[in-house]
A and B are shown apart, each in its own frame.
Chain A
Amino acid sequence: METLNLFIRSIFIDNMVFAFFFGMCSYIAVSKSVKTALGLGAAVTFVMAMTVPLNYLLNEYVLAPNALVEGVDLSFLTFIVFIAVIASFVQLVEMIVEKYSPSLYNQLGIFLPLIAVNCAIMGGSLFMQQKVVSGEIDGLWQSIVYGVGSGLGWWLAIVMMAAIRERLQYSHIPSALKGPGIAFIITGLMGIAFMIFSGIKL
């Protein structure tokens, strides 16, 4: 039950985009058509589902106080270890996809390497570390659930946004507000709509 609660929370209540603004750069830049949004969302979800558990293991057995060597606290290395894992994992995914599925590689194009600097992924790992301290994530299984859930939440947000922006082309917007301006305001309104989930607890 707690795991299900964590899953629902990470998708809807603690949504990466609407509650924490993570991954906003690519969210605004890539949400112009539903098709590319779907592809990028899938890639981000996959990378998050893999890197959050990886970082969980590193955090548990290397970075946490007394984990590696008794009396040594390596937690100040958190940032550099997490970003190294994420960057190398993205590089690996890129190489594997390029080798085994060139058509998918061409579809995702420049978005693949960009994932390394997507704040949602780094943020997912950092929140995972916080939730381990507060006891919300307990064990590898729950860290996988959290990674998948946060990725799905981001995916949901970017696809919704892309769908709205496709329709938006037919509306009359003040010319100064066109483009990013209206995108921000819409995201804010969607965030207010998502606040409705905040009371739900399973």
Chain B
Amino acid sequence: MSNLKNLTGPLSANNPVIVQILGICSALAVTVKMEPAFVMGISVMVVTAFANLVMSLLRNGIPSRIRIIVQLVVIAALVIIVDQVLKAFVYDVSKQLSVYVGLIITNCIIMGRVEAYALGNKPWDSFLDGIGNGLGYAAILLIVAFFRELFGSGTVFNIRIIPESWYIANGGFYSNVGIMLFPPMALIIVGVIIWVHRSFNKDLQEK
């Protein structure tokens, strides 16, 4: 049962993005549309889970002085695999993600979880912890991407939600909110998510 907590904790109460404030770096620029956000979420989840697993297996054999370098090598190797897989199977999305796939290496969630959890816990628990944190990260990405794509382009997963006939060009009354497509709106949406989340979780509020 304690394993289950590793999976569900990071979804809300201990969410890596909005509570631990980790991994924002590579997160927000991929949230213009749902599809790249989804792929990015899955990629980070895979890398976090396996980096946790590998580092947890190696944890007793690494001198602590060189552990950062070892972590970076393990993570970089995993990210290269993910990058090659993305290039092979979803080339368009991999083009959209551009340098952000490489930035998974420096994503603070992965380093953070390896440092804080995997180095002191058993492999299976660490693996689940990685999956859980990856899911929490993906959830925030998808929420942000949902609002940005719905209001910015009128679609969700490239499926049209707001009917074509509503648009001014077709004699309607509606036009897309262009500012949603710009980078600053991603930050503001995350800010609002934190606001809503902390209004319900009073123990997380500062002072």
Contacts and interface: CB of A to CB of B under 8 A. Distances in A.
The answer to whether A and B assemble together is yes
A122 B76 CA distance: 12
Contact of B69 (A87, A174, A177, A185): A87
A54 B188 CA distance: 36
B21 A19 contact: no
Interface in B85-109: 98-99, 102-103, 105-108
Chain A interface residue number, banded: 35 or more
Nearest to B204: A176
A80 B106 CA distance: 11
Interface string A149-190: 000000000000000000000000011111111111101111
Contact of B106 (A119, A176, A182, A189): A119
A20 B183 CA distance: 7
A183 B187 CA distance: 9
B73 A191 contact: no
B158 interface: no
Given A21-B28, A79-B102, 11 more contacts: A21-B24, A21-B26, A21-B29, A21-B186, A29-B21, A76-B80, A79-B76, A79-B80, A83-B76, A178-B205, A184-B187
15 contacts: A21-B27, A21-B183, A21-B187, A22-B103, A77-B80, A80-B73, A119-B108, A130-B98, A178-B207, A187-B184, A187-B187, A188-B184, A188-B187, A189-B188, A195-B182
Which A-B residue pairs are the 8 nearest by beta carbons?
A: A191-B184, A184-B191, A119-B25, A188-B187, A188-B188, A185-B191, A176-B198, A126-B99
